[in-house]
Chains A and B, each alone.
Chain A
Amino acid sequence: MRAKLPRLVVTFSTTAAAMEMERYCQANGISGRLIPTPREITADCGLAWSAPSEAESAVLQAANNGCIEYAAVYHLVI
């Protein structure tokens, strides 16, 4: 498998919230992309937002600014 890197992973309770996150981050130049939720995380939605760990404050700020409900925030090496 490819080299593993430390990543911020944000999970959601619904696919709609994941889509909203992608839309908001892309529109506002926030780094990251949607990934299949890693199995080590228990999540209701199969999609999670993955971004470089150092982007945590920007990503969470984006979620707050966009009124996007996320379920949990993880720091994983994936």
Chain B
Amino acid sequence: MIYLDNAATTLYKPEGVIEAVVNAMQTAGNAARGAHSASLGAAGMVYDTRRKLAALFGCPRADHVAFTPNATAALNIAIYGLLAPGEHAITTDLEHNSVLRPLYDLEERGMALDFVPADRRGCIRYEDFEALIKPNTKAIVCTHASNLTGNALDIVRIAGIAHRHGAYLIVDAAQTAGSFPIDMTAMGIDVLCFTGHKGLMGPQGTGGLCVRPDVELRPLLRGGSGVQSHNRHQPDNYPTRLEAGTLNSHGIAGLNAAVDYLSSEGVETLYRREHERMEQFYDGVSAIDGVTVYGDFSAARRAAIVSLNVRDFDSSMVADVLFTDYGIATRAGAHCAPRMHAALGTTDQGAVRFSFSPFNTEEEIRTAVEAIREISQE
């Protein structure tokens, strides 16, 4: 199989990640639930992972890195923890349902919500954020890069707008954590939400959020914490405030090893490698008659994603032919990004998304381009 669905999850995991998960499953007790060696070993490993992620993402404090099962859970914690009825939030057409659905839910409960629109290339105008700011704007919530087009947003610019008006910035880094260099402090991000199983190349079931110190998030879940057991409330201190229940120590051990791998290889090096593959594919398919590619490929930095359609062919059927006839794994359909598809004009047709990893080869890309060429000629 030629795996080009890395925006859904990276299939190739560094060997060290797999070994770390297996080792943790043989040795890890419940972190922060005892003083014996199995529990302490797990707690130490979990804390070490917080430190490594804080360093990777420029989070000033390791104890402000909280673990979740995925980016969706992190975004729910951030959005419900910061926003409430009576307040106002701004987001964009680029968003995934992990951002949209919590915001729509809050809107139904009385929060005001506005969208920065995207054009047919999936691009926004940053002035639109300014125009939408209100006196009660509490936060801007936006993706770092679209999971459909790969277009990246200028987070520094958006942070500047938010902070000038006293609002917070919550960033969905599902498509960029591990793939883009991210320094949340330098970029002005107040809450960075990430998943562990995509660009970070860790196990599924891992993710988290990095919270800038002084940002107060209300807990979304309440429960076991291993500390302050006689307290009727979820403890106030980070990260326990946001982590009710047993952590996924086995997965976090894999994430720990994944960050080691990224650090040794270099995020920028891996970014360049997957972008070479993306550009090779883009150059190949762009020249094929009948192929429509979506997104802005003129930007200096973008996620390694190319979404396209072939003539008026059903995107689901193109993806099915790619897999059954060529062994190429892609993702068709709506990609949990309904507003992005609406902006691109692809609500009915959907699109076929190709997403790359540093481990894809030139030969794989050549095969994928030829497959699209053959499909386009039928």
Contacts and interface: CB of A to CB of B under 8 A. Distances in A.
B264 to A, nearest CB: 36
A32 interface: no
Contacts of B332: 36
B135 to A, nearest CB: 39
Contacts of A39: 314-316, 333, 348-350
B319 A36 contact: yes
A2 B349 contact: no
B317 interface: yes
B325 A2 contact: yes
Nearest to B348: A39
A21 B315 CA distance: 23
Nearest to B318: A1
B333 A78 contact: no
A18 B320 CA distance: 16
B143 to A, nearest CB: 21
Looking at chain A's contact residues, the main secondary structure is loop
B316 A36 contact: yes
Contacts of A1: 313, 317-318, 321, 375, 378
Given A39-B348, A39-B350, A46 B317 contact: no
Interface residues of A, number: 10
A35 interface: yes
Interface in B348-378: 348-350, 375, 378
Interface string A33-50: 001111110000010000
B333 A46 contact: yes
Contacts of B319: 36
Given A1-B321, A2-B321, A46-B333, A38 B314 contact: yes
A38 B378 contact: no
Interface string B314-339: 11111111000100000011100000
Contacts of A35: 316, 320
A72 to B, nearest CB: 16
Contacts of B334: 46
Given A1-B321, A2-B321, A46-B333, A40 B378 contact: no
A39 B318 CA distance: 11
Residue with the greatest number of chain B CB neighbours at <10 A, chosen from A37, A38, A39: A39
Interface string A3-27: 0000000000000000000000000
Interface in B150-208: none
Interface of A: 1-2, 35-40, 46, 78
Interface of B: 313-321, 325, 332-334, 348-350, 375, 378
24 contacts: A1-B313, A1-B321, A1-B375, A2-B321, A2-B378, A35-B316, A35-B320, A36-B316, A36-B320, A36-B332, A37-B316, A37-B333, A38-B314, A38-B316, A38-B317, A39-B314, A39-B315, A39-B316, A39-B333, A39-B348, A40-B314, A46-B316, A46-B334, A78-B314
Given A37-B316, A39-B349, A78-B314, 5 more contacts: A1-B313, A1-B378, A2-B321, A36-B319, A40-B314
